[in-house]
Amino acid sequence: MNLKRVVVTGLGALTPLGNTVEEYWKGLSNGVSGAAPITRFDASLFKTQFACEVKGLDVEQFIDRKEARKMDLFTQMGLIAADQAILDAGIDLEKSNLNRIGVILGSGIGGLKSFQDEVTDFAKGDGTPRFNPFFIPKMIADICAGHVSIKYGFRGPNFVTVSACASATNAIIDAFNYIRLGKADIIVSGGTEATITEAGVGGFNALKALSQRNDSPQTASRPFDKERDGFVLGEGAGILIIEEYEHAKARGAKIYSEIVGGGMSADAYHLTAPHPEGLGASNVMTAALEDAGLKPEDIDYVNVHGTSTPLGDISEVKAIQKVFGEHAYNINISSTKSMTGHLLGAAGAIEAIASILAIQNSLVPPTINHFTDDEEFDSRLNLTFNKAQKREIRAALSNTFGFGGHNASLIFKKING
What Cα–Cα distance (Å) separates residue 233 from each residue in 20, 49, 117, 190, 230? 20, 10, 20, 19, 10
Integer Cα distance of 146 and 141 in angstroms: 10
Crossing angle of helices 347-361/167-180, nearest 10°? Answer: 70
Buried b / exposed e over 166-201, threshold 16 CB at 10 Å, is bbbbbbbbbbbbbbbeeebbbbbbbbbbbbbbbbbb
Phi and psi based region of residue 295 (left: phi greater than 0; alpha: psi -120 to 50; beta: remaining): beta
Phi first, then psi: give them for residue 144, nearest 5 degrees. Answer: -65, -40
The catalytic residues are: 165, 305, 342
Q: How far is CA 318 from CA 134, 265, 281, 306, 366, in A?
A: 46, 16, 9, 12, 20
Q: Please, what is the angle between helix 112-124 and helix 198-206, to 10°?
A: 100
